[in-house]
Amino acid sequence: MNNLQDKIAVVTGAGDGLGKQISLDLAKNGAKVILVSKIEEEIIKGKEEIENMGEEADYYMCDVSKVEEVNEVAKKILDKYQKIDILVNNAGVYFAGSFFEVNNDQAKKMIEVNTLGTIYCTKAFLPSMKERNEGQVLNVVSVAGIEANGEYTLYTTSKFAVTGFTEALRQELINTKIKVSAIYPEGIRTNIFANSGGRDYTKEEPNTLMDPKDVSEVAMLILKQPADINLSRIDIRKKIF
């Protein structure tokens, strides 16, 4: 497999949880990591952790749901680095509840961050990949993007849209050297549940959740494949004994 030495990687939602772990693992594999998040304090810490490992990192504040911010940050990154090799669309938000329990503002936010944020970031960075006919887009989706669940209907809706986008974009780029892939993990031990307005599974049922390190290993598996191999989709599930 190819290593990631000197690859330039942008990771959204990189402040904590899976996004931070993917950033750390990319750096451990020799990539130059650019952490993107709307919470500056978190990505500063992530940058420092990577630099303490002896690797290179940079960071930019950005709310991926705001297209103007995305385009501005992408321009700054591309002006500085001239290219990116890897885009990991990880930023996401979750509000717990059925269709009747989630209000319209929460529904709008999930669509804006989970769906449109992924589209905005890809649209901002993909043209530079197309110019070089090289690069990789990895979307962090969720099993909610392939299995409908009435317990969180609108979150499922936002993630199914990302699945459709990922598959269609992969087909659109089928005759190029650009890879488009996605991972579909079940619940991960992150802060997403604490901020959801519903059950905090990290406290109530921690044994049902996956460690971000384990999920990140799968992301690395995808990103380290040879140029002619695209692992387009991997579902990741917790085995409970």
Among the residue ranges 25-29, 208-212, 232-236, the one predicted with the least confidence is: 208-212
Q: What token pair was written down for 108?
A: 């709008």
Q: What token pair was written down for 235?
A: 């579902």
Q: For residue 75, what is the enclosing H or E element? A: helix 67-81
Catalytic residue among 60, 120, 152, 155: 155
pTM: 0.95
Question: Is 120 assigned a catalytic role?
Answer: no
207 vs 204: CA distance, rounded Å: 9
Q: pLDDT value at position 241? A: 74
Q: pLDDT value at position 56? A: 93
* Structure letter (DSSP) for residue 104: H
Rounded to a whole number of angstroms, the CA Rg of the chain reads 17
pLDDT tens digits, one per residue of 47-102 = 999 999 999 999 999 999 999 999 999 999 999 999 999 999 999 999 999 999 99
Q: pLDDT value at position 204? A: 47
Partners of residue 135 on adjacent β-strands? 178
pLDDT tens digits, one per residue of 97-134 = 999 999 999 999 999 999 999 999 999 999 999 999 99
Domain spans of the chain, in order of start = 8-236
> Is 133:177 a contact under the CB 8 Å cutoff?
yes
Residue 203 has pLDDT above 70, yes or no: no
CATH 3.40.50.1100 fits 8-236, yes or no: no
